[in-house]
Amino acid sequence: MPAPILEVTNLVKNYGDVQAVRGVSFNVEEGEVFGLLGPNGAGKTTTVEILEGLRTLDAGSVRVCGLDPQVSSRELKHEIGASLQSTSLPDKLRVMEALRLFASFYKRRRDPEELLKRFGLDEKRNAYYSKLSGGQKQRLALAMALVNDPRVLFLDEPTAGLDPQVRREIYDIIEELRRDKKTILMTTHYIEEAERLCDRVAIVDHGKVIALGSPRELKQRSGGKTRIEVKLARPANNGSLQGLEGVADVREVDGTYVLHTQRPPQTIVSLVKHLEAEGNELVSLEIATPSLEDVFIEMTGRRLRD
Amino acid sequence: MRNFTSLTRMRIQLAMRNKMFFFFSVVFPLVMFFVFSGIFAKSYPRRVRFFLGPVIALNVMGSFWGLSAMLVMFREQGILRRFHVTPVTATDMLASSILANYVLTLPTVFLELLFARMIFHVNTFGDPLALFVLVTVGTVSFASLGLVVASITNTMQETQVLNQLLWLPLIFLSGATLPMGYLPKSAQNLSVFLPATYLVSGLQNSVFSSFPLRKILVQLVALAVWALLSFFVAAQLFRWEPEVKVPRRAKLWAAATVLPFFFFGIWESHNRQMLDQAQAAFHSAEEPDPNPAPKVVTPSIQTIPNSRRARPQP
């Protein structure tokens, strides 16, 4: 088996007193779409920026395409493509000019014309960057990341801040890249995104990897149990809910009771009976099929979003 | 090298699409040219030629203003960050800024010379080679100052404040607005420590006094040394990321760029060659014109309206 294209071993990065990354390790194989899933501030972007050679590390080691970004940053940059978070282009740069400009920086190049067509920007070729919509800007960012036909692609929050329809557009593009066997490291705080796009996911929280595996493995690890979220008029005690039929575990997350159960119908019936007996009332009830969110709640006792 | 040329082309394209650039780099210098030539020089060819030095100096010095603002804006908006994940280096980025700025400055200088000849009948500009070399070295050195300003300020506000603080002494204490002859002795003594003085002096010596290249070497060398040092410092302090603030050592580095003119200033304070030359030129410009241009027999009043008509619509 060939060496992994990305190797991250016990990576540590501090900003002053803040430990942004605290011993992260993972490998990414060639042709794999690997996701770093976690809330904002979990250290995902810092990890990616160290791999891209934009930041120095404090401890541990990383290798990208067999190169050390600290040492061979120049060489490395020919091999990688990146779409960054919070970046921009000059307002009055035209779409085609941007692609041509960035293509000119590399030894290995793809035809900007072809990229323009593939990313549906052909009609916008002469538009100023400032006149593009959010989705068009993101498509251009992806096209620009591919302009050197990179061996590994870094996508930092590729759909953050986009509306749902545009987000699906971006998903389609990434899925196409996945079919082409492009190696991708992406970060996201959207569960659906990680589940849908990634071959493997590392769930990151407070600078640490708390779970790693394919989305299916991770979900199975939480037992394939259905999640029932209920809000009650008055607080109940966890112990009493734990005793309901089929319930494997109960947690209170931000005032909502999260029950994991293998037998949802029975659990709901017994929940309603229990509340009646207690004189308590159901304010809301939500049923969710198992997702990576459950893994996160199980590991941290918190929700991923917000 | 290819990165450098592509970036230079981009910067030139962007500047041409920017109205602010057009105003500050083309309209404003030309307005200054007509104010100096038409009003201060009263359209006398000899005096127009005297004021050409300061006018070109103002044009050339303006480089640092736009360049620092542009670079800080690029950094604040995360544009530099995007370039950072490509093989582009800090030197590519900085050197292309300077070259683009130079290419964009030349046409305005050329227009000033052209108008001086066609409208104000200035029939010679001294040694053209000396003028060209001075404009080149001057533009590069003041552009480098802009790069240093960008590297020691965090936000656009800070940049503009620092630009203001630099601009006023540079234009008022160097002979660029008020001729050196009008300045009090104390101001003159101070002026030899300012790079602008060397630029104005060099330009005036070459355009007005027709000095050849070898007689303005001091000015050229002083500006060139300063340009190299400033560029080096700017490259050391270059920051791609908006979050990375000015490091403390930056202040020391920036202070180092003052050194060349500190030493040249001390030296110039002793031999006073530049100040004497400025004085001589000033008096010479006040003398009656030995060969007045045929059309300008009566002073100013009639010629100004003509020159106004000849001015291109901005």
Query: Residue B304 is encoded by which pair of tokens?
Result: 């100004």
Helix (H) or strand (E) holding A82: strand A80-83
pLDDT for the residue A1:
61
Buried/exposed code over A36-60 (b: 16+ C-beta within 10 A; e: otherwise): bbbbeebbbbbbbbbbbbbbebeeb
| pLDDT value at A236 more than 70 | yes
Burial (Cβ within 10 Å: 0-12, 13-18, ≥19) of residue A277: exposed
- B88 contacts A88? CB cut-off 8 A: no
73-92 of A, contacting B, C-beta below 8 A: 74, 77-78, 80, 82, 84, 86-90, 92
**Rounded-to-integer distance, Cα B180 and Cα A150, Å:** 60
- B88 contacts A89? CB cut-off 8 A: no
Question: Looking at CA atoms only, how far is residue B65 from chain A in angstroms?
Answer: 18
* Cα pseudo-dihedral A123, A128, A133, A136, rounded to 10: 50
Q: Beta A18-28 vs A6-15: how paired, if at all? A: antiparallel
Q: How many beta-carbon contacts under 8 Å exist across A and B?
A: 60
Residues of A in contact with B14 (CB under 8 A): 90, 92-93
65-104 of B, contacting A, C-beta below 8 A: 74, 77-79, 81-82, 84-89
Q: Name which of B2, B14, B81 is nearest A90 (Cβ-Cβ).
A: B14
**Rounded-to-integer distance, Cα A218 and Cα B49, Å:** 81
Burial (Cβ within 10 Å: 0-12, 13-18, ≥19) of residue A229: middle
- Mapped onto helix, strand or coil, the DSSP state of residue B49 is helix
- A74 contacts B85? CB cut-off 8 A: no
Residues in chain A: 306
Q: Under 8 Å CB-to-CB from A212, ≥6 apart: which residues?
A: A26, A200, A201, A202, A203
* CB contact B245 to A (< 8 Å): no
**Rounded-to-integer distance, Cα B188 and Cα B215, Å:** 21
* CB contact B240 to A (< 8 Å): yes
Query: Residue B312 is encoded by which pair of tokens?
Result: 């291109």
Q: Name which of A87, A93, A104 is nearest B81 (Cβ-Cβ).
A: A87
pLDDT for the residue B119:
92
Query: Residue B67 is encoded by which pair of tokens?
Result: 């360049």
Q: Which residue of B has its CA nearest to A15?
A: B244
Place of tokens 């003028």: B131
- Mapped onto helix, strand or coil, the DSSP state of residue B106 is helix
Helix (H) or strand (E) holding A168: helix A164-179
CA max distance for chain A:
74
pLDDT for the residue B298:
46
pLDDT for the residue B24:
85
Question: Looking at CA atoms only, how far is residue B28 from chain A in angstroms?
Answer: 22
- B78 contacts A84? CB cut-off 8 A: yes
Tell which residue, B26, B240, B191, has the closest CA to residue B115.
B26
**Rounded-to-integer distance, Cα B116 and Cα B124, Å:** 10
Backbone φ and ψ of B299, nearest 5°: -70, 160
Residues of B in contact with A90 (CB under 8 A): 10, 14, 74, 79
| Cα distances (angstroms) measured from residue B296 to each of B42, B51, B285, B289 | 10, 17, 16, 11
Q: Which domains does chain A have, with CATH numbers?
A: 6-219 (3.40.50.300), 225-289 (3.30.70.100)
**For chain B, which residues score pLDDT lower than 50?**
294-314
Residues of A in contact with B15 (CB under 8 A): none
| Cα distances (angstroms) measured from residue A278 to each of A65, B10, B213 | 61, 72, 100
Helix (H) or strand (E) holding A204: strand A200-205
pLDDT for the residue B292:
53
ipTM over 0.90: no
Tell me the pLDDT tens digit for each residue of A173-229.
999 999 999 999 999 998 889 999 999 999 999 999 999 999 988 888 776 688 888
**Start-to-end Cα distance in chain B:** 35
pLDDT for the residue B291:
55
- A89 contacts B10? CB cut-off 8 A: no
Tell me the pLDDT tens digit for each residue of A58-91.
999 999 999 999 999 889 999 999 999 888 999 9
- One-letter amino acid of A114: E
- A80 contacts B85? CB cut-off 8 A: yes
Question: Looking at CA atoms only, how far is residue B311 from chain A in angstroms?
Answer: 29
> CB neighbours (10 Å) of residue B282?
17
| Eight-class DSSP state of A199 | S
Q: Under 8 Å CB-to-CB from B269, ≥6 apart: which residues?
A: B189, B192
| Eight-class DSSP state of A252 | E
Residues of B in contact with A53 (CB under 8 A): 85
For B10, what's the count of Cα atoms within 13 Å in the CB-facing half-sphere?
30
Helix axes B217-237, B259-271, angle to 10 degrees: 160
The answer to whether the CB of B42 falls within 8 A of the CB of B125 is no
- Mapped onto helix, strand or coil, the DSSP state of residue B34 is helix
pLDDT > 70 in chain A, percent: 98
**Rounded-to-integer distance, Cα A146 and Cα A110, Å:** 8
**Rounded-to-integer distance, Cα B24 and Cα B116, Å:** 20
Q: Which residue of A has its CA nearest to B92?
A: A105
Q: Where are the domains of chain B?
A: 2-299
pLDDT for the residue A235:
85
| pLDDT value at A306 more than 70 | no
Query: Residue B32 is encoded by which pair of tokens?
Result: 């200054």
Please state the rounded mean pLDDT for residues A243-264: 85
What strands lie across the sheet with A6-15, from one edge to the other? A18-28, A6-15, A59-64
Average confidence score pLDDT of chain A: 90
pLDDT for the residue A250:
87
Tell me the pLDDT tens digit for each residue of B28-40.
999 999 999 988 8
The answer to whether the CB of B51 falls within 8 A of the CB of B170 is no
**Rounded-to-integer distance, Cα B148 and Cα A69, Å:** 28
Q: Name which of A77, A88, A97 is nearest B86 (Cβ-Cβ).
A: A77
**Rounded-to-integer distance, Cα A75 and Cα B189, Å:** 52
| Cα distances (angstroms) measured from residue A294 to each of A35, A44, A247 | 17, 20, 14
